[in-house]
Amino acid sequence: MCENSASEEARAFHAFAVQNAHCVEVGEMARHLHEHMAEAVTAENEDTEVPTQEEIQTHLLKHMLHPTVRVAHILRNLLDLSETLREVVVSRAEDNTPLIDVRTVTVYLKVVNEIMQVYKNTDTARMLFADQAQ
């Protein structure tokens, strides 16, 4: 995909990714782009090979360096990590007494701090907030 990055189709692909990274999960975006590219090739009766959904997803995750796309991925990863850590922070003993792992709490709080830094340093108007009034 990177070798065709100067084409009009590639520029449209990248523009779509940048405009929607904040509100569409990468797997869903890759599916949509794959379908769109397949339709375009079919409509033009070209013998062009359409990248697979997995190849598109790899491109979005590994090759696109646009800040909007990268920040969206980083934020989603941090949020996933914080949820996992939160579940690990408090466990239960056999008598159902809560057990707190202080080391995990420390890591969890650092991840939460990183999430807050992303929000502070990002144009939040570009993010999708489901509870935001229209």
DSSP string across 74-101: HHHHHHHHHHHHHHHHEEE-TT--EEE-
- Whether 25 and 84 map to the same domain: the answer is no
- Whether 45 and 70 map to the same domain: the answer is no
pLDDT tens over the chain, length 134 residues: 666 666 677 788 888 888 888 888 888 999 998 998 888 777 666 677 888 999 989 988 888 878 888 888 889 899 999 999 988 888 888 998 888 888 999 999 999 999 999 888 877 666 654 444 43
> Which tokens is 15 given?
């523009």
- Whether 13 and 43 map to the same domain: the answer is yes
- Whether 80 and 123 map to the same domain: the answer is yes
* Predicted TM-score (pTM) of this structure: 0.68
- Whether 100 and 36 map to the same domain: the answer is no
- Whether 57 and 79 map to the same domain: the answer is no
Q: Which residue among 40, 64, 88 closes a domain?
A: 64
CB neighbour list of residue 14: distance below 8 Å, 6 or more residues apart: 5, 64, 66
- Whether 34 and 21 map to the same domain: the answer is yes
Residue range of the domain that includes 60: 1-64
| Radius of gyration (C-alpha) of the chain in whole angstroms | 20
